[in-house]
Each structure stands twice: as structure tokens, then as C-alpha cells.
């Protein structure tokens, strides 16, 4: 048996009537408020501010008390065995006579002009390799010896040695070395024995830094 809702419990039957009744009542209330209160001007509420009272206190001026100077030390007589010196002689009244009034003044010092000749050596400028007009060319290449430790360990690699080539074309200084450290010493020794043609700038030889590569391979 199918049971349906009771008419009193079915809200859908009275939904439309209730909606229109509420809407009409709301409209009447809004119209009544508009008739009785056509304009509404709210009054701003100003909160009373209490005055700030600043009280000044008089601070008495401080005075620094200065201490009185210490009393003078009493003069103590100096005892002596000389009967010619009176007993009331003190340290302050004692005069020491060394008999230097009869001595002749020392001779004037001869001013000797010491002239130091300082030879300023002209600092030799090291020119960048890309700036020289004529780059150095390698004329003598020394192959480095293969280190026995690297040979036993089957270590190979490539080392780059930065060398300073002087005006005579010989290596004067070794700079940065890159590559396996086991080859650094032998590569440095070989680079020091290398020779170049001097680099030329403005028709005169100059110093430049060059990079020497050394390859270590096992046959």
C-alpha cells in the first residue's frame, strides 16, 4: 500500500502563497519607512579627547665639589758629614758645581753632505702576447722526461706551462702550470731550457708570457 503525504504536511501547496505574502509585506514595510523617514542623516559620534597634561619637574643643578690640593711635602734636611755645610740645607737649595765653566765649548760639527746616488733602473715592461707586432717563435724545444712513477701507474695527460720569454729569447721565469701534478716538475725543467726568437714591439725586443704545451703518452 502506497502512502502519500497529508495535505497539511505538503509545503509545496502553500509555497507560492507564502512567497507572495512575504514579498507584499516587505514592500509595504519599505514604503512605510520611506513615507515616515524620507531622509536619513546620521550624526557622527565624536569621542571626547582628554587633554594631555605635561608636568615639568625642576631638577636642581648639581655642583661638583673640587678637592683641595694636597699639602706641600715637608722639606727634609739632607744629612752630611761635611762640617762646612749648614744643617738647614735642603735638597732644593743644594747646588752641584762640577767645575765645567772653564771648559772650552766643543768644536762645531762639520756638515758633510752625503749624496747618495740612486740609479733608478727602468722597469722592463712585459707586453701582452696579443699586442706585440712580432710574436716569439720556438727555436729550441726540449722534450721532458717521463716520470717513472707516472709510467708505472700508466698515467698520461697534457700539461701547459706559462713561461716568461726575455728580450734575448730565453725563458726567465715560470708562471702557472696546469695539468696532472705528477708532470709539473719535468715540464718546468723542459720549459726553462726552451729558446725562442725575441718578441718585437716598435722595432725593439720586449718580454712576453707564452704558454708551452707538453703531452705525455705511453708508447
- Residues 8-31: pLDDT tens digits? 667 777 778 888 889 999 999 988
With a threshold of 0.95, does the pTM exceed it? no
Q: How many domains does the chain have?
A: 1
Is 1 a domain residue?
Answer: no
Q: Is 200 helix (H, G, I), strand (E, B) or coil?
A: strand
Reported as a pLDDT band with limits 50, 70 and 90, residue 104 is: low
List the grid coordinates of 153.
Answer: 701507474
CATH code where residue 166 lies: 3.30.2420.10
List the grid coordinates of 12.
Answer: 509545496
C-alpha 35/C-alpha 29 separation (Å) is 10
Asked if the model's pLDDT at residue 95 lies above 70, the reply is no
Provide CB contacts within 8 A for 215, sequence distance 6+: 158
Is 147 a domain residue?
Answer: yes
Asked if the model's pLDDT at residue 50 lies above 50, the reply is yes
Q: Is 67 helix (H, G, I), strand (E, B) or coil?
A: coil
Is 73 a domain residue?
Answer: no
**Among candidates 176, 178, 182, which has minimal Cα distance to 156?**
182
- Report the pLDDT value the prediction gives residue 88, as an integer from 0 to 100: 58
Lowest mean pLDDT among 3-17, 32-46, 54-68, 87-101: 87-101
- Report the pLDDT value the prediction gives residue 51, as an integer from 0 to 100: 80
Q: Are strands 171-178 and 126-127 parallel, antiparallel or unpaired?
A: unpaired
Asked if the model's pLDDT at residue 193 lies above 70, the reply is yes
Question: Which one is predicted more confidently, 27 or 108?
Answer: 27
Instruction: Give the pLDDT mean for 72-77.
Output: 67
- Residues 171-181: pLDDT tens digits? 999 999 999 99
Reported as a pLDDT band with limits 50, 70 and 90, residue 102 is: low
Asked if the model's pLDDT at residue 116 lies above 80, the reply is no
Is 76 a domain residue?
Answer: no
Please list the residues that pair with 59 across neighbouring strands.
Answer: none
Is 200 a domain residue?
Answer: yes
Is 8 a domain residue?
Answer: no
5-9, 46-50, 93-97: range with highest mean pLDDT: 46-50
User: Domain span at residue 165?
Assistant: 127-216
- Residues 125-160: pLDDT tens digits? 888 888 889 999 999 999 999 999 998 999 999 999
- Please state, for a pLDDT cut of 90, what percent of the chain lies above it: 37
Is 195 a domain residue?
Answer: yes
**Among candidates 136, 139, 159, 160, which has minimal Cα distance to 208?**
136
Is 45 a domain residue?
Answer: no
C-alpha 36/C-alpha 184 separation (Å) is 107
C-alpha 219/C-alpha 207 separation (Å) is 37
Query: What's the DSSP call for residue 28?
Result: H
Amino acid at each position: 500500500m502506497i502512502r502519500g503525504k497529508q495535505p497539511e504536511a505538503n509545503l509545496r501547496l502553500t509555497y507560492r502563497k507564502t512567497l507572495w505574502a512575504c514579498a507584499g509585506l516587505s514592500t509595504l514595510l519599505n514604503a512605510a519607512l520611506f513615507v515616515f523617514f524620507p531622509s536619513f542623516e546620521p550624526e557622527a559620534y565624536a569621542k571626547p579627547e582628554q587633554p594631555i597634561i605635561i608636568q615639568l619637574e625642576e631638577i636642581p643643578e648639581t655642583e661638583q665639589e673640587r678637592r683641595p690640593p694636597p699639602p706641600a711635602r715637608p722639606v727634609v734636611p739632607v744629612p752630611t758629614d761635611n762640617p762646612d755645610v749648614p744643617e738647614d740645607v735642603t735638597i732644593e737649595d743644594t747646588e752641584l758645581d762640577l767645575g765645567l765653566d772653564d771648559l772650552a765649548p766643543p768644536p762645531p760639527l762639520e756638515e758633510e753632505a752625503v749624496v747618495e746616488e740612486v740609479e733608478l733602473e727602468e722597469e722592463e715592461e712585459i707586453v701582452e702576447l696579443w699586442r706585440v707586432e712580432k710574436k716569439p717563435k720556438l727555436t729550441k724545444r726540449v722534450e721532458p722526461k717521463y716520470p717513472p712513477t707516472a709510467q708505472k701507474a700508466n698515467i698520461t695527460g697534457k700539461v701547459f706551462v706559462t713561461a716568461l720569454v726575455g728580450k734575448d729569447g730565453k725563458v726567465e721565469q715560470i708562471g702557472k702550470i696546469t695539468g696532472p701534478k705528477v708532470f709539473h716538475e719535468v715540464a718546468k725543467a723542459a720549459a726553462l731550457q726552451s729558446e725562442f726568437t725575441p718578441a718585437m714591439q716598435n722595432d725593439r725586443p720586449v718580454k712576453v708570457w707564452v704558454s708551452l704545451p707538453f703531452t705525455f703518452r705511453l708508447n
